[in-house]
Amino acid sequence: MHKTINLSLSDIFELSVDALLASGANRENAEAVAAVVRNADRDGCTSHGIFRVPGYCSALKLGAVNGHAKPELIDQAPSIVRIEASNGLAPLAVEAGRPSLIKKAKDQGIATLAIRNSAHFAALWPDTEPLADDGLVAMSFVNSRAFVAPAGGKRRRVFGTNPMSFAVPRSGQPPMVFDQASSAAARGEIMLAARDGHKALAEWGLGPDGEETDDPAEILKGVQLPFGGYKGGAIALMVEILAALLTGGETSLEAERSYTGHGGPSPAGHLIIAMDPKRFGQENFINRVELLFEEMLADPEVRLPGDRRLAMRQKTQTQGVDIPEILFQEVREISRGPK
Amino acid sequence: MHKTINLSLSDIFELSVDALLASGANRENAEAVAAVVRNADRDGCTSHGIFRVPGYCSALKLGAVNGHAKPELIDQAPSIVRIEASNGLAPLAVEAGRPSLIKKAKDQGIATLAIRNSAHFAALWPDTEPLADDGLVAMSFVNSRAFVAPAGGKRRRVFGTNPMSFAVPRSGQPPMVFDQASSAAARGEIMLAARDGHKALAEWGLGPDGEETDDPAEILKGVQLPFGGYKGGAIALMVEILAALLTGGETSLEAERSYTGHGGPSPAGHLIIAMDPKRFGQENFINRVELLFEEMLADPEVRLPGDRRLAMRQKTQTQGVDIPEILFQEVREISRGPK
């Protein structure tokens, strides 16, 4: 086991801000990124927490992302707001577009936020949950660098791990939110298995020869596979079209081809859709959501998506988060700036 | 093998119209249903073709659906059109809402059609394909009677097979459309396996005791399972919320509880979302779609979703469709009206 150190959520935020500032981000971008990093660690999503800060910082220092980017908001159509992110960091781009998305959804009934050229490296639930906090039903789609073969494919990477998220408001408690890659495994999961000498599941991917393998290192060299066979492959394709093509962003293949190996976020397109149940005439919507969840939970073996995250959220607010000491040292070192 | 008879596509349409009229539908409803039936057989989707006409007719004769329903269009919000289908047949409800949905999508950028209380028994691609024919990107979500357990669940049916469809326009050829249940298997597939004495796959579902079984008859008595584990379960939940709750329609459980065993369509909610790439500023959208498909098809083992349907479409336009003679006799008998 790694030696760990306990940090409060505000420690994580401050430390992340300092490291991002020292790597060349301006305060607005640093705070937007640090907030999603803190919220990921708060909810036990370790792989999207402070763990990602060195990658963000490396990409900033190498100039692969623009830490001073100011997201440009374009009022594209009555129900579309666009953000030109100019290779800036996704969290500030999402923040910049959110108020307009919420206003349009409440005015028009349904609206969409289309972000292009943002550097995305975060979980998606931080994008959809605030919309559901505001009473909206929200969906989010992001593409990334190409790692995943289309359904039936064995050798060619075409799609990113292409996650999607969905959030729905609840009565008196945080929204129900799911956030899932359209690949069978998260790339980070395969990397951890390779590092720790564990075997890969057959469904995770294929080696560079297009053959099944239980060696995660071979899958990292080959292709990942969609979850759930051809149906998951169809979801991956849908996310690619919505996130990359409808926004005018780079496809996962284009992002992979321009990648310089900085270990940080990739340029991505990002589409968020928000719908207002009240504008649909559904005044009773939230009560019906609760009734549906009661029916699901009547089976004691069923859990709602995201419930472990919410349980962790309760805990970390008072108890903080244990992070590997080596990671803490690394981020603190970055925050001290160039020697 | 069953003895078959070859029918032209217009034979299938006329025969279906006659049977529906004789069962109590008015001409408008009969022709809308017969068109989706004909198009399903045209595309080789036998299970949604004339095969379904006896079920439609049985439900009509029993008064379980209203064959004279006139879909009521409500201009709900700038980007929402609603249809109150009054227990009428879904195909006419979708037709009634489509022009307004297309207009709103082109005016606003994104728009949605929310249908409640329609009796749905059809494939979903006939809903999304015409939107993509008109240059739009379209998604469709429908719930149905409860057959499927939530992820982790073993005994309680909560969700319908809850299909979703996605369509995108192409350059010089029919749209790419997928249409897939969020259950691992279509219910019809399990029924056919039970009838023909074939074994079920473990992933299809569980017996009434909550245990794995390879007996399809046991799965029909127990629960079906979502495709792709908890990720497919999350899709099933999303479809339920979008299709039933956002439209104000019946949930799959409510539809199951009110079902009277007529073998026909179930009351369902139905949400269709349409987006106009031009209004997103993506004048080059269709070319980028084609480039993406080229990258996918560079691997000879990859097929685009729906390509078998389109190949069949070419064939049946000239060669017609072979249907079991016993089915032909049954539908013709219905079309002659009560003895």
Contacts of B153 in chain A (CB under 8 A): 296, 299, 301-302
3-state secondary structure of A178: strand
Helix B90-108, helix B27-42: angle, nearest 10: 80
Contact (CB<8Å) B251/A292: yes
State the count of interchain CB pairs (< 8 A) between A and B.
Answer: 213
**Average pLDDT rounded to a whole number, residues A14-32:** 97
Contact (CB<8Å) A246/B282: yes
Q: Are residues B167 and B90 in the same domain?
A: yes
The shortest C-alpha distance from B311 to chain A (Å) reads: 18
Q: What is the pLDDT of residue B104?
A: 98
Q: What is the pLDDT of residue A191?
A: 87
**Average pLDDT rounded to a whole number, residues A122-127:** 88
Contacts of A78 in chain B (CB under 8 A): 78-79, 107-109
Contacts of B84 in chain A (CB under 8 A): none
3-state secondary structure of B86: strand
Contact (CB<8Å) A248/B168: no
Q: What is the pLDDT of residue B120?
A: 81
Q: What is the pLDDT of residue A174?
A: 96
CA B269/CA B271 separation, integer angstroms? 7
Contact (CB<8Å) B107/A78: yes
Q: How many residues does chain B have?
A: 339
Range of the domain at B321: 1-61+306-339
Provide CB contacts within 8 A for B54, sequence distance 6+: B19, B263, B327, B330, B331, B334
CB count, 10 Å around CB of A229? 18
Tens digit of pLDDT for each residue in A52-87?
999 999 999 999 999 999 999 999 999 999 999 999
Contacts of B82 in chain A (CB under 8 A): 280-281
B137 in contact with chain A, both atoms CB, cutoff 8 A? yes
The answer as to whether A44 is a domain residue is yes
Q: Are residues B142 and B115 in the same domain?
A: yes
If you measure CA to CA, which chain B residue comes closest to A244? B288
Q: What is the pLDDT of residue A262?
A: 80
Contact (CB<8Å) B114/A280: yes
A80 secondary structure, DSSP code? E
Contact (CB<8Å) B228/A230: no
Q: What is the pLDDT of residue B31?
A: 97
pLDDT band at A189 (very low <50, low <70, confident <90, very high): confident
Contact (CB<8Å) B280/A156: no
A298 in contact with chain B, both atoms CB, cutoff 8 A? yes
The shortest C-alpha distance from B286 to chain A (Å) reads: 9
Contact B252, B244 (CB under 8 A): yes
Contacts of B296 in chain A (CB under 8 A): 150, 153, 158, 237
pLDDT over 70 at A255, yes or no = yes
The shortest C-alpha distance from A40 to chain B (Å) reads: 20
Q: Are residues A7 and A108 in the same domain?
A: no
Q: Which residues of B form the catalytic set?
A: 47-48, 189
pLDDT over 90 at B188, yes or no = no
Q: What is the pLDDT of residue B157?
A: 97
B108 in contact with chain A, both atoms CB, cutoff 8 A? yes
CA B160/CA B197 separation, integer angstroms? 25
Q: Are residues B134 and B178 in the same domain?
A: yes
Q: What is the CATH number of the domain that holds A261?
A: 3.30.1370.60
Q: How many residues does chain A have?
A: 339
Mutate which: B282, B292, B304, B307, vs A, most A CBs within 10 A: B292
A156 secondary structure, DSSP code? -
Q: Are residues A290 and A162 in the same domain?
A: yes
pLDDT over 70 at A339, yes or no = no
Q: What is the pLDDT of residue B164?
A: 97
The shortest C-alpha distance from B161 to chain A (Å) reads: 13
β-pairing verdict for A80-89 and A205-206: unpaired
CA A335/CA A331 separation, integer angstroms? 6
pLDDT band at A46 (very low <50, low <70, confident <90, very high): confident
Q: What is the pLDDT of residue B123?
A: 85
**Average pLDDT rounded to a whole number, residues A165-180:** 97
The answer as to whether B156 is a domain residue is yes
Q: What is the CATH number of the domain that holds A57?
A: 1.10.1530.10
Q: Are residues A133 and A32 in the same domain?
A: no
pLDDT band at A123 (very low <50, low <70, confident <90, very high): confident
Q: What is the pLDDT of residue A47?
A: 84
| Amino acid at position A206, single letter | L
Q: What mean pLDDT value characterizes chain B?
A: 94
The answer as to whether A206 is a domain residue is no
Tens digit of pLDDT for each residue in B52-69?
999 999 999 999 999 999
The answer as to whether A212 is a domain residue is no
Q: What is the pLDDT of residue A109?
A: 98
Contacts of B237 in chain A (CB under 8 A): 178, 296, 305
Contacts of A97 in chain B (CB under 8 A): none
Contacts of A108 in chain B (CB under 8 A): 77-80, 108
Q: What is the pLDDT of residue B1?
A: 57
CA B180/CA A234 separation, integer angstroms? 9
Lowest mean pLDDT among B119-128, B151-160, B266-275: B119-128
pLDDT over 90 at A122, yes or no = no
Provide CB contacts within 8 A for B65, sequence distance 6+: B56, B59, B87, B88, B89, B119, B264, B265
Q: What is the pLDDT of residue A312?
A: 96
| Amino acid at position B235, single letter | I
pLDDT over 70 at B239, yes or no = yes
The shortest C-alpha distance from B48 to chain A (Å) reads: 19
B234 → closest Cβ in A178, A237, A295 = A178
CA A69/CA A93 separation, integer angstroms? 9
Q: Indicate the number of domains in chain B.
A: 2
pLDDT higher at B325 or A189: B325
CA-to-CA separations, A81 to B64, B175, B204, B281, in angstroms, rounded: 44, 26, 42, 11
Q: What is the pLDDT of residue B2?
A: 73
**Average pLDDT rounded to a whole number, residues B120-149:** 94
CA A60/CA A230 separation, integer angstroms? 37
The answer as to whether B194 is a domain residue is no
CA B111/CA A87 separation, integer angstroms? 29
pLDDT over 80 at B243, yes or no = yes
Contacts of A289 in chain B (CB under 8 A): 241, 245
Q: What percent of chain B has pLDDT over 70?
A: 99
Q: What is the pLDDT of residue A1?
A: 57
Q: Are residues B22 and B48 in the same domain?
A: yes
Contact (CB<8Å) B76/A109: yes
Q: What is the pLDDT of residue A260?
A: 83
The shortest C-alpha distance from B75 to chain A (Å) reads: 10
A197 in contact with chain B, both atoms CB, cutoff 8 A? no
The shortest C-alpha distance from B18 to chain A (Å) reads: 37
B248 → closest Cβ in A149, A237, A282 = A282
User: Where are the strands (E) in chain B, listed by range?
Assistant: 4-7, 72-77, 80-89, 110-120, 137-142, 164-168, 176-180, 205-206, 223-224, 266-275, 321-324
CA B249/CA B90 separation, integer angstroms? 13
pLDDT band at B244 (very low <50, low <70, confident <90, very high): very high
pLDDT over 60 at A256, yes or no = yes
The shortest C-alpha distance from B154 to chain A (Å) reads: 8
The ipTM assigned to this model is 0.96
The answer as to whether B66 is a domain residue is no
Residue B224, beta-bridge partner list: B148, B205
Tens digit of pLDDT for each residue in B196-224?
899 999 999 999 999 999 999 999 999 99
Q: What mean pLDDT value characterizes chain A?
A: 95
β-pairing verdict for A164-168 and A137-142: antiparallel
Q: Are residues B300 and B312 in the same domain?
A: no
Mutate which: B72, B79, B156, vs A, most A CBs within 10 A: B79
Q: What percent of chain B has pLDDT over 90?
A: 89
Q: Are residues A292 and A310 in the same domain?
A: no
B1 secondary structure, DSSP code? -
CA A313/CA A38 separation, integer angstroms? 11
Q: Are residues A279 and A157 in the same domain?
A: yes
The answer as to whether A162 is a domain residue is yes
Q: Are residues B291 and B327 in the same domain?
A: no
Mutate which: B83, B110, B279, vs A, most A CBs within 10 A: B110
Q: What is the pLDDT of residue B206?
A: 97
pLDDT over 60 at A285, yes or no = yes
CA A277/CA A283 separation, integer angstroms? 7
Mutate which: A292, A293, A303, A304, vs B, most B CBs within 10 A: A292
- Angle (nearest 5°) at CA B85 between B79 and B88: 150
pLDDT over 70 at A124, yes or no = yes
β-pairing verdict for B80-89 and B110-120: parallel
Chain B, 54 to 83: residues with Cβ < 8 Å from chain A are 74, 76-80, 82
pLDDT over 80 at B339, yes or no = no
Chain B, 236 to 295: residues with Cβ < 8 Å from chain A are 237-238, 240-242, 245-248, 251, 253, 273, 275, 277, 279-282, 285, 288-289, 291-292, 295
Q: What is the pLDDT of residue B119?
A: 87
**Average pLDDT rounded to a whole number, residues B282-308:** 96
Burial track B16-54 (b if 16+ CB lie within 10 A, e otherwise)? bbbbbbbbbbbebbbbbbbbbbbbbbbbbbbebbbbbbb
Q: What is the pLDDT of residue B127?
A: 94
The answer as to whether B220 is a domain residue is no
pLDDT over 80 at A338, yes or no = no
B113 in contact with chain A, both atoms CB, cutoff 8 A? no
Tens digit of pLDDT for each residue in B92-111?
999 999 999 999 999 999 99
Contact (CB<8Å) B108/A107: no
Q: Are residues B173 and B93 in the same domain?
A: yes
Tens digit of pLDDT for each residue in A320-329?
999 999 999 9
Residue tagged 């995660």 (tokens):
A216
CA A224/CA A207 separation, integer angstroms? 9
